[in-house]
Amino acid sequence: MRKLVLGLLITLLSTSVFAADKPQKIEHIIFISLDGLRPDAIQILGNEQAPTLNRLIAQGASTMNARTDPTCTWTMPNHAGMITGLPVEGNAGHGVRFNFNPLEDIHELNGRYVYSVFNILHNHGLKSIFFASKKKFQFFYKSYFRTIEEVYMSDMHNKETFEAFIKEFQKSKPGFSFLHIADPDETGHKTAWSVEDGSDYLLAVKRVDAYLGDIIQMIELDPQLSATTVVIVTADHGGDGEGHFDITHRENYTIPFIVWGAGVPQGRDLYFLNAKSRRNPKDKQMPMDAKWQPIRNSDAANLILSLFNLPPIPQSIVNYKQDLNVGF
């Protein structure tokens, strides 16, 4: 009898500590790409100097060992993966193998229509906005302008991009927000991604942490937003002293992936939550055809749709089964 009672108590405690009920409806998802963010920078800065990022980790589901596309650690290809759920290479890839804004759109380059998260959201009546602090991201708006209702582009003006996003979000409360901040990448290229104490790169991460803090405060001050909003934070690549272009450097292909908000349980490791579908690659980069896949930034597209209870992107590959579990 004592063993039975003890077992019931353990079950109840485990449920209360670790389980989180999915809200009846997620109404807002804010997807934030912090360009060039190394996960070890978050850990080095700690709670005192990067309070928001560390809070999102403590209060959400995350990993500091997610991966870029295995064949490319450039900005444009990885962002293409984030919105299409496709790898870079192969006949079924998104084909963005460049790091600039070409004359063609993504469909013209591929000779076929390449569906994105924006298409599915638009088809189901959800408003999307797209804010980026690199003007070459015009490529993505050019490719999906019919499905994006508000756009803002700047040329490395991170604060202005952030402020414009806050203003638009407060005005229209869109279903889906794509926010790109270039500051870590911009500073990393100038300072070799130094994570030494007091480095300019760490100062850049502190700046974006403050931006994130304002977004979280905006959500928490509105009970309706707080009950219906999920924030996803990841990166397109990391970086090291030589840049971020060598796909064999761990510092380049290792990125954070953080999910926080309504219904997401606190302090959960994404690899633990996804033991049946993903495997922690430790220090390796895994090819796309490996039996066990790591969590990738391109998991985001179909994760976003699954949180909205919408179907996956047609012809997508990464997370097509929508089996990336964030703890609901």
Per the confidence metrics, is the pTM higher than 0.85? yes
Reported confidence tier of residue 328, pLDDT bands at 50, 70, 90: confident
Helix residue spans in the chain (DSSP H): 2-18, 39-49, 51-59, 75-84, 106-110, 117-123, 138-144, 158-172, 183-191, 200-220, 223-228, 250-253, 270-273, 300-307
Whether 16 is covered by a domain: the verdict is: no
Number of domains in the chain: 1
Whether 10 is covered by a domain: the verdict is: no
Provide CB contacts within 8 A for 138, sequence distance 6+.
101, 153
Position 16 pLDDT exceeds 50: no
Whether 231 is covered by a domain: the verdict is: yes
CA distances (Å), 207 to each of 102, 201, 231, 234, 323, in order?
31, 10, 18, 16, 33
Whether 23 is covered by a domain: the verdict is: no
Whether 175 is covered by a domain: the verdict is: yes
Position 241 pLDDT exceeds 50: yes
Q: Are 298 and 81 in contact (CB under 8 A)?
A: yes
Q: What percent of the chain has pLDDT over 70?
A: 93
Whether 140 is covered by a domain: the verdict is: yes
Whether 7 is covered by a domain: the verdict is: no
Whether 3 is covered by a domain: the verdict is: no
Q: Are 280 and 297 in contact (CB under 8 A)?
A: no
Reported confidence tier of residue 9, pLDDT bands at 50, 70, 90: very low
Q: The domain that contains 213 carries what CATH number?
A: 3.40.720.10
Provide CB contacts within 8 A for 137, sequence distance 6+.
79, 101, 130, 153, 180
Domain containing 279 equals 33-307
